[in-house]
Amino acid sequence: MNTQKIKELKDDKGVVLVEFYASWCPHCKRMMPVVEDVKALFAGQVNVYQFDIDENESLAKELGVSSIPTFIVFAGGEEKWRGSGEMDGNALASRIEAEL
């Protein structure tokens, strides 16, 4: 399944935002409404995937995720940007806009 998810991410020729989070992580919880706002802002333009790191440990390892929350922007199947920790929604949106 993880191999399939990675293939889907890399085969998606558009812009994709991936978030790795954990339900027990306070920083992740604070980012949830920010991610929902970003999702709404880019609805129909950007696919957003959210993975619980506890349920997708091997996928996280495959993508080199070592802290949470981690955000990765893919464009044309290639990783274009990666950031970890809490961040402003405008900062996250600007990273996505740069790839549109």
The parent domain of residue 77 ranges over 2-97
Selected catalytic residue, list 17, 18, 28, 75: 28
Region 39-47: mean pLDDT is 95
- pTM for this prediction: 0.91
* 25 a catalytic residue: yes
What is the CB-side half-sphere exposure of residue 63 using CA atoms within 13 A?
30
For residue 2, pLDDT over 70 is answered with no
Q: What is the CATH number of the domain that holds 74?
A: 3.40.30.10
For residue 48, pLDDT over 80 is answered with yes
Strands 70-75 and 46-52: unpaired
- Report the mean per-residue pLDDT for the chain: 91
d(CA 81, CA 78): 9
pLDDT score recorded for residue 1: 43
Domain count, the chain: 1
* 74 a catalytic residue: no
Selected catalytic residue, list 10, 12, 22, 25: 25
